[in-house]
C-alpha cells in the first residue's frame, strides 16, 4: 500500500512539474490565419499552400525568433466571399478576436478583401493578400500609410500589370495568327465576368487593341457564376471575332470554354481563365478546353528559377494537382513572413513591416520586390517585369497545360530576351486554321 501511495505521489509531482515547467501548447507557436473561400478551389489553394509551408518549417524545428524556436499553427477561416461579403468580414473578425492570430494570409475577391483589409488593419495585423488584384488595395497603403501599412500584396501582381501581361499574350498569339494565317487586322471580342477587378482591364482594351493592329467587335460581361453562355458565344461568332480575350476568375470560365469548344467557333481564346489554370479543367470541360490559353503562375515543367520545380513537384506529389496562384500562401509564409521574422528575431508587426517593404527576395514564382508610387510612397505592391514577376501563358495541348510564353520575349529595346526553361510552341486550333488559312 505504501508503495502504491509513493507511485501516486510521484505521478502527481511529475504532472505538476510538467504543468509548471513546460509552457502550454500554443504559447510557443506563431498563429497564422488562412482566410479564403474554402469550399472553392481558390480557398483550397490558400490552405494547401499554407499547409505545405507550415509543415516544411515545423519539420526543420520551427521559426527562429531570437533565441527561441517557435512552431507555426495555422487557423483556417472560410470567408465564403464568392457568395457573401459579410461572411468574409465575420471570418476575419473571428480570426482577430476569437483565434487571436498573429498574421493573416489569403483573400480572393477584391470586394471582400477590401472589407477584410479594414478589419486586419484595425487590429494592426500583417495581412498578406493572396488572390485579389485590384490596385486600390495597395493605393490605400500609399494614401494612408499609418492605417494600411500592415497590408502587403502576396499574389498576383495588380490588375494593371495583369492586363499588361494579358495584352502581351494577346499580341503574342495575334502575331502568330497573322504570320500563319495571313490575317491583317484581327477582330477581338472582349469577354469579362461582371466583377470589380475586371473593370479596369475592360476599359484598357479600348485604347490598347488599336495600338497593336486589332479591332474590338464588342464587350460581353456575363455573370461570374453563369452556367450557360451560349447567347454570348453566338453573338461573338456573329460579330466575326477571330480572337476572344477572356477575363474570368470564377466558374463561368468552364461553361465558356466547354460551349465554345462544342460550337467550334473560329476564334482562339486568350487571356485569363482561372478555371483553365487547374488540372481538373480538362475533365470539367469534357475535353473542350483544348487550345485554350490562360495566364497562369505555375505549370509543371516550366521553371522561373531554382525554387520553382521543388515547390511545384512537391505540391503535386502532396496534393495531386499543380498549384494555382492562391497556393502562393506558401511563398507568403515561408519566403516573405518567416524570412523577415528570422531576420529581426521578432514578431513585432511594425518592425516586420519595415523589413518586408525593404526586402528583395526570391520565391518559386520569381523575384519579389515591393514598389513605391511616383511620389516615393510605399505601396506594398509587387514589382512586375523582366527579372521580377511575369507569370506565364499556358495553353492546353493534348489534355495537358503547356507553358508557351514568354518565348523569346524582349520587353523593351535592348532588354534581354526571356524564355523560361520548359517553354514550348503555341498551337492554333485546327478549325481556326481551316476557317482562315488562305
**pLDDT value for 16:** 39
What is the CA 292 to chain-centroid distance, rounded?
19
Kindly report, residue by residue over 188-215, the tens digit of the pLDDT.
Answer: 999 999 988 788 889 999 899 999 889 9
pLDDT at residue 27, rounded to an integer: 58
C-alpha cell at 216: 474590338
pLDDT (tens digit, 9 = 90+) per residue, 22-40? 333 445 999 999 999 999 8
The helix or strand, by DSSP H or E, that contains position 401, with its residue range, turns out to be strand 400-405
For position 415, what pLDDT does the model report? 83
Query: DSSP for 265-311?
Result: -SSEEEEEEGGGGSTTHHHHTTTTTTT-EEEES--TT-BSSTTHHHH
pLDDT at 41: 85
Q: How far apart are CA 383 and CA 21, in angstroms?
A: 48
Residues written for the chain: 438
* Per-position DSSP letters for 325-375, written without gaps between them: GGGGHHHIIIIIIHHHHHHHT---HHHHHHHHHH-EEEETTEEEEEEE-TT
Would you call 22 helix, strand, or coil by DSSP?
coil
- Per-residue pLDDT tens for 129-138? 999 989 999 9
CA distance 321 to 281: 11
Structure-block grid coordinates of residue 194: 461582371
What pLDDT was estimated at residue 195?
86
Task: Give the per-residue pLDDT at 314.
Answer: 98
Residue tagged 454570348 (cell numbers): 232
Per-residue pLDDT at 262: 94
Low-confidence ranges of the chain (pLDDT < 70): 1-27
Q: How far apart are alpha carbons 245 and 381 in whole angstroms?
A: 26
Amino acid at each position: 500500500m505504501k508503495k502504491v501511495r509513493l507511485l501516486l505521489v510521484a505521478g502527481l509531482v511529475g504532472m505538476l512539474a510538467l504543468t509548471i515547467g513546460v509552457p502550454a501548447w500554443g504559447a510557443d507557436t506563431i498563429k497564422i490565419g488562412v482566410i479564403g473561400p474554402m469550399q472553392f478551389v481558390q480557398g483550397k489553394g490558400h490552405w494547401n499552400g499554407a499547409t505545405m509551408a507550415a509543415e516544411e518549417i515545423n519539420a526543420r524545428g520551427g521559426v527562429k525568433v531570437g533565441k527561441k524556436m517557435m512552431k507555426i499553427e495555422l487557423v483556417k477561416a472560410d470567408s465564403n466571399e464568392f457568395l457573401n461579403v459579410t461572411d468574409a468580414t465575420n471570418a476575419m473578425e473571428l480570426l482577430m478576436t476569437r483565434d487571436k492570430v498573429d498574421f493573416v494570409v489569403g483573400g480572393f475577391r477584391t470586394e471582400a478583401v477590401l472589407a477584410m483589409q479594414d478589419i486586419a488593419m484595425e487590429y494592426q495585423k500583417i495581412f498578406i493578400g493572396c488572390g485579389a488584384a485590384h490596385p486600390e488595395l495597395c493605393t490605400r497603403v500609399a494614401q494612408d500609410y499609418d492605417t494600411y501599412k500592415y497590408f502587403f500584396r502576396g499574389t498576383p501582381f495588380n490588375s494593371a500589370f495583369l492586363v499588361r501581361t494579358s495584352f502581351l499574350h494577346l499580341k503574342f498569339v495575334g502575331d502568330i495568327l497573322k504570320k500563319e494565317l495571313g490575317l491583317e487586322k484581327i477582330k477581338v471580342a472582349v469577354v469579362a465576368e461582371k466583377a470589380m477587378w475586371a473593370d479596369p482591364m475592360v476599359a484598357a482594351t479600348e485604347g490598347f487593341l488599336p495600338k497593336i493592329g486589332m479591332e474590338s467587335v464588342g464587350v460581353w460581361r456575363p455573370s461570374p457564376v453563369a452556367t450557360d453562355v451560349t447567347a454570348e458565344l453566338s453573338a461573338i461568332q456573329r460579330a466575326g471575332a477571330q480572337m476572344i480575350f477572356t477575363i474570368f476568375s470564377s466558374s463561368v470560365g468552364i461553361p465558356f470554354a466547354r460551349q465554345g469548344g462544342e460550337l467550334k467557333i473560329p476564334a482562339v481564346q486568350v487571356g485569363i481563365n482561372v478555371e483553365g489554370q487547374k488540372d481538373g479543367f480538362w475533365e470539367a470541360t469534357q475535353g473542350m478546353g483544348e487550345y485554350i490559353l490562360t495566364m497562369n503562375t505555375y505549370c509543371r515543367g516550366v521553371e522561373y528559377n531554382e525554387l520553382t520545380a521543388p515547390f511545384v513537384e512537391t505540391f503535386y506529389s502532396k496534393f495531386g494537382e499543380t498549384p494555382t496562384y492562391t497556393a502562393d500562401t506558401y511563398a507568403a509564409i515561408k519566403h516573405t513572413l518567416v524570412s523577415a521574422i528570422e531576420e529581426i528575431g521578432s514578431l513585432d508587426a511594425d518592425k516586420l513591416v519595415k523589413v518586408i517593404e525593404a526586402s528583395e527576395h526570391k520565391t518559386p514564382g520569381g523575384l519579389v520586390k515591393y514598389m513605391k508610387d511616383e511620389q516615393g510612397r510605399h505601396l506594398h505592391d509587387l514589382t512586375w517585369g523582366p527579372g521580377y514577376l511575369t507569370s506565364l501563358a499556358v495553353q492546353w495541348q493534348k489534355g495537358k497545360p503547356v507553358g508557351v510564353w514568354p518565348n523569346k520575349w524582349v520587353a523593351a529595346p535592348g532588354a534581354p530576351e526571356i524564355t523560361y526553361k520548359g517553354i514550348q510552341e503555341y498551337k492554333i486550333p485546327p478549325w481556326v486554321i481551316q476557317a482562315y488559312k488562305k
